[in-house]
Amino acid sequence: MTSKVTYLGQLRTKNQHLKSGNTYTTDAPLDNNGKGEAFSPTDTVATGLANCMLTVMGIKAQNMELDMSGTTAEVTKIMASDPRRISKIIIKIDLPFQAEDKTRKILEHTARTCPVIYSLHPDIEKDVTFNWQ
């Protein structure tokens, strides 16, 4: 088992990673009857894509003896209705270091082939940009 999710009431959940014990809370968004006081479940999906991209890029960078520390990703999630779903995820990745074209291509390809991107429905548009120093 990977995690345990407990419904706390009032459209809120507590999520625990069983191996580490780490937790986070989700809350329904304001536009869907919630308080919007924490990540929504769909926020975690969109953010998970950026987490995965940076993680696999970090693995590849380590293998290439590069330090990606300080790299950030800004995530924008766009929702659609009928049925309510994520229609688009926009990710802007800022890499605060110089890299040769070959290195850039390798790291960008690594990000665009992360496990989460392959796990998302193909109808979800993924708009990813990379900004190199």
Residues 60 and 82 grouped into a single domain: yes
Residues 22 and 44 grouped into a single domain: no
Give the number of domains in the chain: 2
Residues 30 and 81 grouped into a single domain: no
Residues 17 and 64 grouped into a single domain: no
pLDDT in tens for each of the 133 residues of the chain? 999 999 999 999 999 999 999 999 999 999 999 999 999 999 999 999 999 999 999 999 999 999 999 999 999 999 999 999 999 999 999 999 999 999 999 999 999 999 999 999 999 999 999 999 9
Residues 108 and 73 grouped into a single domain: yes
Query: Which residue segment(s) compose the domain that 74 sits in?
Result: 40-132
**Is the CA virtual torsion 109, 62, 2, 42 positive or negative?**
negative
Residues 86 and 23 grouped into a single domain: no
The pairing of strands 125-132 and 12-17 is unpaired
Residues 31 and 85 grouped into a single domain: no
